[in-house]
């Protein structure tokens, strides 16, 4: 018996290290900014050209991740490092990703964590002579962790001073604000992607599925000012015997099309010969 391995490409626009944020203005014009989610901020010539062509003025840069160790203590990882000077012309918005399990830990104090995060961000800002006008936090909080996350945000606001505070908003948080609550921030960013089921090999596009996405938006207007983050990346999903085995970063479908051992059996769908 020959085992079949299927690879379905979920391709959106182009592969980039940056993820698009559209900020809707009153005139209906989009003020475009980008997320930079790698641990070293180093803009390639291609990235610089994309930023210039789109009139970009702001970069949302992940400064660090926060998670918990086996002792349930919060710790930083994937800390940012700036290289070169190509990023200097842009307004830098520091972003911090915090796992939801961080706020599930009884050992984590919202005020203590806020102080630790602020001290780290301040050190980075001082090192690179930055005075951010905004800070953003990315956490997929739930109804059970919202109180600790929101308390963390309130403590952080008191520490950092006058800068604006924003938080990412997942689709389930948008749909059920009564259960998940509204974060105490100046605005949110709706993360409009990853709404499909990557475990279902019949899913045509797990990154962006407007039919599924629109279902989350039926609850009406969200009671917080929102920008919208849209995806600008692609991946390949590897299935074996109908089960998802791996997620593979790919720059485009042409990479698969050139592989002699793969046969295209449908739109974006390849099978090992």
Q: How far apart are CA 110 and CA 29, in angstroms?
A: 38
| Predicted TM-score (pTM) of this structure | 0.83
Which residues fall within 8 angstroms of residue 208, CB to CB, at 6 or more apart?
12, 192, 193, 195, 196, 230, 231
CATH code of the domain made up of 17-232: 3.20.20
On whether the CB atoms of residues 49 and 35 are closer than 8 A, the answer is no
Q: How far apart are CA 151 and CA 31, in angstroms?
A: 31
pLDDT at residue number 251: 63
On whether the CB atoms of residues 250 and 243 are closer than 8 A, the answer is no
pLDDT at residue number 94: 98
Q: How far apart are CA 217 and CA 245, in angstroms?
A: 31
Angle between helices 146-160 and 110-127 (to 10 degrees): 40
On whether the CB atoms of residues 259 and 17 are closer than 8 A, the answer is no
Averaged pLDDT, 265-271: 81
The larger pLDDT score, comparing residue 231 to residue 71, is at: 71
Averaged pLDDT, 46-61: 92
Structure confidence by residue, pLDDT tens digits, 237-263: 888 888 888 888 776 777 788 888 888
Domain ranges of the chain: 1-12+235-273, 17-232
pLDDT at residue number 19: 39
Please check the confidence at residue 264 and state whether its pLDDT lies above 70. Answer: yes
* Radius of gyration of the chain from its Cα atoms, rounded to whole angstroms: 20
Structure tokens belonging to residue 215 = 């279902």
Structure confidence by residue, pLDDT tens digits, 155-181: 999 999 899 999 999 999 999 999 999
- Residue 189 phi/psi, 5-degree rounding, is -125, 115
CA torsion 113-119-122-124 (nearest 10°) is -90
On whether the CB atoms of residues 269 and 4 are closer than 8 A, the answer is no
**Tokens 């991946």, located at residue:** 235
């Amino acid at each position: 018996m020959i085992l079949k391995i299927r690879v379905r490409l979920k391709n959106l626009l182009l592969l980039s290290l940056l993820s698009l944020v559209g900020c809707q203005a009153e005139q209906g014009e989009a003020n475009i900014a980008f997320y930079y989610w790698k641990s070293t901020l180093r803009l390639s010539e291609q990235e610089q050209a994309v930023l210039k062509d789109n009139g970009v003025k702001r970069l949302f840069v992940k400064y660090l991740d926060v998670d918990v160790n086996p002792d349930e203590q919060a710790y930083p990882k994937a800390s940012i490092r700036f290289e070169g000077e190509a990023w200097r012309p842009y307004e830098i918005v520091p972003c911090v990703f915090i796992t939801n399990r961080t706020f599930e830990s009884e050992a984590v104090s919202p005020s203590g964590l806020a102080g630790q995060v602020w001290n780290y961000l301040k050190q980075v800002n001082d090192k690179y002579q930055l005075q951010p006008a905004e800070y953003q936090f990315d956490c997929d909080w739930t109804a059970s962790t919202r109180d600790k996350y929101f308390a963390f945000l309130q403590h952080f606001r008191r520490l950092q001073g006058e800068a604006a505070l924003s938080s990412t908003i997942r689709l389930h948080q948008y749909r059920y604000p009564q259960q998940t609550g509204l974060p105490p921030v100046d605005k949110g960013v709706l993360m409009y992607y990853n709404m499909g089921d990557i475990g279902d090999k019949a899913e045509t596009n797990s990154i962006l599925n407007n039919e599924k996405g629109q279902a989350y938006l039926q609850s009406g207007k969200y009671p917080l000012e929102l920008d919208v983050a849209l995806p600008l990346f692609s991946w390949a999903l590897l299935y074996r015997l109908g089960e998802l085995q791996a997620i593979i970063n790919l720059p485009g479908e042409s990479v698969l099309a050139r592989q002699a051992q793969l046969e295209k059996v449908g739109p974006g769908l390849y099978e090992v010969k």
